[in-house]
Amino acid sequence: MIEFFTKLEEILLIKSPKEKIEKFNGFYNLYKSNEIKFNHNQNSKIFENPSYINYCKVIEPKDVFKRKKLNTNEGKAILLHSILHIEYSAIDLALDASYRFKSMPKEFYDDWLEVAEDEIRHFLMIEELLKELGFNYSDFPVHNSLFEASKKSLDLISRMATIPRYLEANGLDANPKIIQKLKNLKDKFSDKIADGLDIILNEEIEHVRKGDFWFKYGCKKLDINPNEYFNIVESVLAGSGKKRKFVNIEARLKAGFSKEEIEKISK
């Protein structure tokens, strides 16, 4: 019988997206059939580099191509590639959460493997759109900000606060603006991208909600006040407390944010 954490480590280290997805699908089918054993004494590795380090050219975030000129095919491709990279990074982050945190309730592993499956579906959907424009994943350079954030959040509370409840929640704010820009272009392919982003937006609400649940679970277990959320995120990502011009209030409320938290980040 396959051991859960050992197999996840193997999948996390796979460099090829296609192979990673195939291996995960096989593993996930076994998991759902209860054909997996758990060794909670297994030691989690701290990965020094992201799995895509030799697949994509990694550059500084400030040097990544800007998402401009959406009325051109190249502009659309740059946008799609940046989203595709976020989705691929999100696959690894969901797998890493499942792998890194031991002795959790089974529902925790159910949740984050389900998130990984969603992120894979999002990745494949955006990859198909990118290919329609004649481009592939790795055709543009990428940054590793999400991976770096995961390296700085190696305990449950800081990970749940930082990745789903902060970084992924920020996507809930950003996506509607991108969707509207695409719809304003009034061409069929832009509408197609917008429809894909709308699917992602709605499903990401549930991902953030899961992060919210397990963040509060960890706080309760360690007797930490959940209101320390902003301080916890700031300790991992300095400068994270900036006010936001647009906050997707409806989505954030569904995902578990309080009205007070939303007021704190709104301009």
Give the tens place of pLDDT for each residue, 23-59.
999 999 999 999 999 999 999 999 999 999 999 999 9
Q: What is the reported pTM? A: 0.96
pLDDT value at 267 more than 80 = no
Least confident of 61-70, 108-117, 137-146: 61-70
φ, ψ (nearest 5 deg) of residue 248: -80, 85
- Output the pLDDT for position 214: 98
- Mean pLDDT of the 209-224 span: 98
Residue 115 CB-density burial (10 A; 0-12 exposed, 13-18 middle, 19+ buried): buried
The reported pLDDT for the residue numbered 63 is 80
3-state secondary structure of 54: coil
Topology of domain 55-265, CATH: Ferritin (1.20.1260)
Please report where in the chains the tokens 């040097």 appear, as a residue: 63
Give CA angle at 124 (100, 190), nearest 5°: 125
Query: What's the pLDDT score for residue 61?
Result: 86
Q: Give me the mean pLDDT over the 66-80 stretch.
A: 89
Determine the Cα–Cα distance for residues 87 and 66; give it in Å rounded to an integer: 18
Q: Mean pLDDT, the chain, as a whole number?
A: 96
Give the DSSP H or E segment for 17: helix 17-32
Q: What share of the chain has pLDDT > 70, as a percent?
A: 100
Give the mean pLDDT of 172-185. 95
